[in-house]
Amino acid sequence: MRLPYFVRNLIPRREHVQHARPLRTALKEVSPVQWALFLAGWMAWTCDAMDFFTVSLSVPELQSFPVDSVPKTTSITLTLLFRSAGAVIFGAISDRYGRKWPLVFSLIFCAVVELATGFVHTFAQFLAVRSLFGIAMGSVWGMAASNALENLPVETRGLASGIMQQGYDMGYMFAALVNLYLVPAHPNVSWRALFWTAAGCSAFAAVFRAVLPESEVFLRARAEEREHATLAGGKHERKTMIFFRELREMLRLHWKLCIYAVLLMAGFNFLSHGSGDLFPTYMQTTKGFTARQATVSTIIASAGAIVGGAIAGHGSQYIGRRFTIILCLILTGAFVPLWIVPSSWGKLTAGAFWISFGIHGAFGVIPVFLNELSPPAFRAMFAGTAYQLGNMISSASAQIEATGGDNLRTTVHGKDVPDYATVQGIFIGCVLVYTIILALVGPEKHSSHFEKHKLAFQEGAGRDDLAVNSDRASTEDGQIDEEKRELR
């Protein structure tokens, strides 16, 4: 009996591993500019995450606005809802015009909006500014992942993916450190100092990317286009018209893949936001710890995420992207009781470390997984939009948990408080099952050489199928045909 395709493809083919160069050899070939471009992508995502978590860390301290926790979490929901618009707009611009200046502008946009947040005086103003920030934030991930991965050797992309994605948790950690030390030192401005510091970090990341060159992939494609135009006597169709025509063709061919990617990212974002957004509030409200203890727990959990992302991202290069994701999510499920049952700070913090290790270990595979899975000419828009549409679907995570806490109550130190422990345990458990099933049945394009394909403004880009890998097509014709049918 022949196993289903998705089971046979769970572990990467032998030639993907055997024919690959050792990681050490591949790393030696990375030039200083390529390292800098990777660092720029990592910095962009780190600053983006820091900007986002300023609200999560400030929920208990937003005393300027006399509202309860549910309206405050509305700002998190609105930010997540508007991220899809930024992903579509800036992703298309990046695929059409290049990686450099769209990312620079996006980071400046983030900095301006984050700075403005620190000057609002009413809760309505706060919600409006955070909605604008959602557009700015949604624009970053797809471009950051492309900047970080497309110029690196294939053998390094698993490790690079894990490190790049954990910029999210580095941003959380940086925000927590600022909240721990800088905010208490400036009681006259309180939580506003956190937003202003985050704005400065985003501005620095924009300057860093601005001084670097355009992505090598785009420079090479533009040189080819100039050469073709010269041979054709200077006559060529407008690139923007080609872009939209090829975009329509890509959507026609890959609409099922688009839906799958969105559904998968909805599961991942439910896990991430369901475990992180209200974690400081959960530690203080349900478990009765101080704001400082909750912040330290957040930092330790972020450390677990960073370690998990690097290990899982690198491991996926050898045991497969989806198989690594499934293993990490199973590990997450095993540690849910340690995350919600104990009453001691040390045990709960240890549970938070391993929950973050598992969830963000799986998430560390996502940048390379989505970039390999994407129609290669539209990686920034496809990957970024799938990621942010998944965020939009999961945007109510904090409100769901806050509402659940209003209905499930417990007693801490004689006070009736929301039982966020039970709410989070049920919530994360259900989403884990959903995400594992989707990861199991989905496609995978391990070690795809997406950097060799056409870009979105080139004729035929929409049909430039990512399943065709030029350096091994002669030996895998039959398998490629099967993969193309699965992807379409």
Round to whole Å and give the CA distance between 425 and 421. 6
Instruction: Say which residues have a Cβ less than 8 Å from residue 239's Cβ, sequence separation at least 6.
Output: 96, 225, 457
Q: Centre a 10 Å sphere on the Cβ of residue 177 and count the other Cβ atoms it contains.
A: 17
Residue-wise pLDDT for 404-419, tens only, equals 888 888 887 778 888 8
Among 123-127, 281-285, 345-349, 370-374, where is mean pLDDT lowest? 123-127
CA-CA-CA-CA dihedral for 132, 136, 138, 142, to nearest 10: 170
Distances (CA, A) of 251 to 247, 288, 388: 6, 50, 17
Round to whole Å and give the CA distance between 286 and 299. 19
This prediction's pTM: 0.83
pLDDT in the model for residue 435? 96
Q: b or e along 185-202 (b: 16 or more beta carbons within 10 Å of the residue's beta carbon)?
A: eeeeeebbbbbbbbbebb
Burial class (CB in 10 A: 0-12, 13-18, 19+), 252: exposed
Q: Are 322 and 10 in contact, with CB atoms under 8 Å apart?
A: yes
- Name the residue type at position 82: F
Q: If you write DSSP's letter for every residue of 131-182 in order, what string do you get?
A: HHHHHHHHTHHHHHHHHHHTTS-GGGHHHHHHHHHTHHHHHHHHHHHIIIII
pLDDT in the model for residue 445? 87
Give the highest mean pLDDT range of 64-68, 78-82, 275-279, 361-365: 361-365
Q: How confident is the model at residue 472 (pLDDT cuts 50, 70, 90)?
A: very low
What fold, for 13-217+242-487?
Growth Hormone; Chain: A; (1.20.1250)
Cα atoms in the Cβ-side hemisphere of radius 13 Å centred on 107? 30
pLDDT in the model for residue 16? 53
pLDDT of 33 over the 60 cut: yes
Distances (CA, A) of 78 to 99, 112, 130, 299: 27, 18, 7, 25
Average model confidence (pLDDT) across the chain:
84
Residue-wise pLDDT for 291-339, tens only, equals 889 888 988 998 999 999 999 999 998 889 999 999 999 999 999 999 9
pLDDT in the model for residue 487? 45
Q: Are 161 and 41 in contact, with CB atoms under 8 Å apart?
A: no
DSSP run (H or E) holding 459: none
Round to whole Å and give the CA distance between 395 and 446. 30
Q: Which of 81, 70, 45 is nearest to 123 (CA)?
A: 70
Helix, strand, or coil here: 467?
coil
pLDDT in the model for residue 70? 44
Q: Where are the domains of the chain?
A: 13-217+242-487
Q: Are 34 and 86 in contact, with CB atoms under 8 Å apart?
A: no
- Name the residue type at position 429: G
Residue-wise pLDDT for 375-409, tens only, equals 888 988 999 999 999 988 887 887 788 888 888 88
Mean pLDDT of all residues in 416-436? 92
Residue-wise pLDDT for 38-70, tens only, equals 999 999 999 998 988 887 777 666 656 655 544
Share of the chain above pLDDT 90, in %: 39
pLDDT in the model for residue 53? 80
Residue-wise pLDDT for 214-260, tens only, equals 988 888 878 877 776 665 555 555 788 888 888 999 999 899 999 99
Instruction: Say which residues have a Cβ less than 8 Å from residue 181's Cβ, sequence separation at least 6.
Output: none
Q: How confident is the model at residue 164 (pLDDT cuts 50, 70, 90)?
A: very high
CA 50 and chain centroid, separation: 13
Round to whole Å and give the CA distance between 218 and 448. 18
